[in-house]
Structure 1
Amino acid sequence: MSGLLEVITLHAADAERAEAGGADRIELCGTLDDGGLSPEPALVEKVRAATSVQLRVMVRLRAGYGTDGGEAVRLKGLMASYADAGADGMVLGFLNQMGEVDVQVVGELVADGDWPWTFHRAIDSTLYPDRGWALLRQLPRLDQVLTAGSARDLAHGLDDVLQRAASDPWRARVIMAGGGLHPDHVPWLARAGVRAFHIGKPARPQGSYKAYVDVDLVRSWRRLIDTEVRHASG
């Protein structure tokens, strides 16, 4: 049994290298400013033409995890354009003014699609994490939740991720561990039932987004994840 490996990419060259290293999926961002913002649809088209790896696209136009009605209209248009350009799925997540998962806005954004999607690390910034996770169950076609268990990183939130995965098969199935993922975290996560992993800087030389994704680094993560998932699966 193998795990799922997702790699952050910024352009077609990154995507090609991620695929060559054995990534199952890429998350495409236009820029990594403010934690990752949406690309232009033309970039999605270029990446799709360059690779056959699963492609999910970041849907976020500003810093933070809030949005409003006017922006939501633009986001829906972007998602339709991304799907037309060949995206397999989307990455999004918004909180309301009370710091809770904004089920109404997110539900409206995904309502017109037929693609799977990831709720990103907005879940780590909600004021009420237990309620947030319960609300996520209500959202249609959600099949992945990117989380570090902490608004900081996995070094601070690992215990939370492990507890949530080990206590609920649904959460174990949808959790994608990311946000400062370190090789030492993988065995613990795999034993807790986590099967999806997300990397950004660790896929690049010296952990720099100024460098392209490195095939050998991705391949080393591929081997590590598959080995630990197999061991955890018995």
Structure 2
Amino acid sequence: MPYRMGQARSYWMERASSNPAPVLEICVDSVASALAAERGGAQRVELCDYLAGGGTTPSAGMIEVVRKSIGIGLHVLIRPRRGDFLYTAAEFEVMKKDIALCRTLGVDGVVIGALTADGRIDTAGTAALMAQASGMSITFHRAFDLCADPFQALDELLALGVDRLLTSGQQETALQGAELIRKLHERAAGKLVILPGGGVTPAHVRELLRRTGVSEVHASARTSVQSSMQFRKAYPPMSSERRLSEFEQLVADAEVVHALRAAFNG
């Protein structure tokens, strides 16, 4: 069954009568999706790029145009690449620069996350990103779902003063992870908002909220839209079809680059 924005709007208006502050966050990767989220009744969007790879930081142009196009909350994902969340010093510098840019563009909050090699929260790295984002809302993203001990990780995020935790309950979908989400919500005790996300649809959002007790939900709400192109030429795909795990990257190889240069010089 395709997702219908009107359906979601009706549900969240109904829920507002019993809960004074329900929040629906929609994950988007385009201006069109941000506008659709606002029309459908979402209170906030998380703006990303490359959702097929779990999301990366969108361009400055995308952030600026989305900010000018919508009147609801705008949070931006700060993630320099796909894959794992073990970052180098250079990658932390990239994220700090992106956070500074978000501030200048009027973004309300940033979505961050970093881990250590042994699967714990990188508290030092996260604190440095939070310092850069001072004054903006801070969401720790689903890097949490790759942590070895979710309760220890939650305690570390509470100590850091993170505002919100996006999680699927360390399962493929938030509904599958509902029991852990409920426990995290209870343990946070209002000091941090638990934001379930991952496979959330109108068909089971009521059950998810009932089972977890949370008041915010994160969803992508996407449906397939055909291109308006009339001339369509068959050609090999421009993107790689190889499926990568979260623990591998396609990285330029200096030896291959050297071999290409040597071949140029014949």
1:28 & 1:128 partners in 2: Cα distance? 28
CA shift, 1:138, in A, is: 1.7
8 A Cα contact 1:25 1:55, kept in partner: yes
Q: Which structure dedicates a bigger proportion of its chain to helix?
A: 1
Say yes or no: does 1:204 pair with 2:222.
yes
* Alpha-carbon distance in structure 2 between the residues aligned to 1:166 and 1:80: 33
Q: Deviations 1:11-69 (Å, cap 9, x if unpaired)?
A: 11111111111100000002213211111111100101111110000100122111111
1:159 aligns with 2:184: no
Query: What are the Cα deviations for residues 153-199 of structure 1, in whole angstroms up to 9, with x where unaligned?
Result: 2243111112322454236x510111112432434524643011000
- CA shift, 1:139, in A, is 1.7
Q: Secondary structure at the match of 1:57?
A: strand
Q: 1:40 — aligned with what?
A: 59
**TM-score, scaled to structure 2:** 0.72
Partner of 1:194: 214
Which stretches of structure 1, 4 residues or more, deviate above 4 A after TM superposition?
none
Higher relative contact order (CA 8 A, sep 6+): 1
Aligned residue type for 1:57: V
Query: Is 1:178 aligned with 2:197?
Result: yes
Residue correspondences, number: 205
Question: In structure 2, what is the Cα distance between the partners aligned to 1:84 and 1:149?
Answer: 33
TM-score by length of 1: 0.81
Does residue 56 of the first structure (1) align with residue 89 of the second (2)? no
Q: Displacement of 1:10 after TM fit? A: 1.0
User: Structure 1's 112 and 168: CA in aligned 2 closer, same or farther, altered over 3 A?
Assistant: closer
- Among the aligned pairs, what percent are the same residue? 31
RMSD of aligned alpha carbons: 2.0
1:72 aligned onto 2:81: no
Cα gap change, 1:50 to 1:185, in 2 (>3 Å):
closer
Gap regions ≥5 residues in structure 1: 213-234
2:42 is paired with a residue of what secondary structure? coil
